[in-house]
Amino acid sequence: MADIVAPDVRSRMMAGIRGTNTRPELALRRGLHALGFRFRLHDRKLPGRPDIVFPRYRAVIFAHGCFWHGHDCHLFRMPSTRPEFWEAKIIRNREVDARAFDALTKLGWRQGIVWECALKGRIRLPLEDVIGECAVWLVSDSPGLEIRGRE
């Protein structure tokens, strides 16, 4: 199926998609800051440039978009235009995530992932629950956290 918009319009639309300061990320930051957690943002010194870095707890949180990271939920659907391009891109994104995860583990950092579907869509969780789970995890010794929308 052909794209329904002109290539220059599609290019402008795709260029407008941000990789930092997304709505899910901002919601997490606001909620955790309100609970007294202090953090750094997008630390270039750490593998994968985590979205939120908590040096005091030696922990990071990634706010993953379900489409860009190929999550198995209702928010991800492989585009019908240029499927080979998109499949390769999403596979590469997953490989980059896995390398960053391994590198952070070797450096002694704990990692949490909050999927976009946990904060948006028909299977979303209440924001307070997501923030609460993150807060409990941060002060615990648990090595990992993954929050997804309810199934």
The pLDDT assigned to 87 comes to 94
Neighbours of 48 (CB within 10 A): 19
Residue 28 has pLDDT above 90, yes or no: yes
Average pLDDT over the chain, rounded to an integer: 91
Does the residue 4 lie in any domain? no
Task: Answer whether residue 118 is part of any domain.
Answer: yes
Q: Is residue 131 part of a domain?
A: yes
Q: Please report whether residue 72 resides in a domain.
A: yes
Would residue 16 count as lying in a domain?
no
The yes-or-no verdict on residue 18 having pLDDT over 70 is no
Per the listing, tokens 């220059």 go with: 8
pLDDT tens digits for 134-149? 999 999 999 999 999 9
**Beta-strand pair 52-54/40-41:** antiparallel
Nearest one of 139, 17, 142 to 68, comparing CA atoms: 17
> How far apart (Å, rounded) are the C-alpha atoms in residues 39 and 42?
10
Q: Print the domain residue range for 54.
A: 27-147
Decide if 22 is inside a domain. no
Tell me the pTM.
Answer: 0.87
Q: Has residue 19 got a pLDDT over 70?
A: no
Residue with tokens 């943002």: 41
pLDDT in tens, 55-98: 999 999 999 999 989 998 988 888 888 889 999 999 999 999 99
pLDDT in tens, 103-139: 999 999 999 999 999 999 899 999 999 999 999 999 9
Residue 133 lies in a domain: yes
Q: Residue 72 belongs to a domain with what CATH number?
A: 3.40.960.10
Query: In total, how many domains does the chain have?
Result: 1
pLDDT at 1 over 70: no
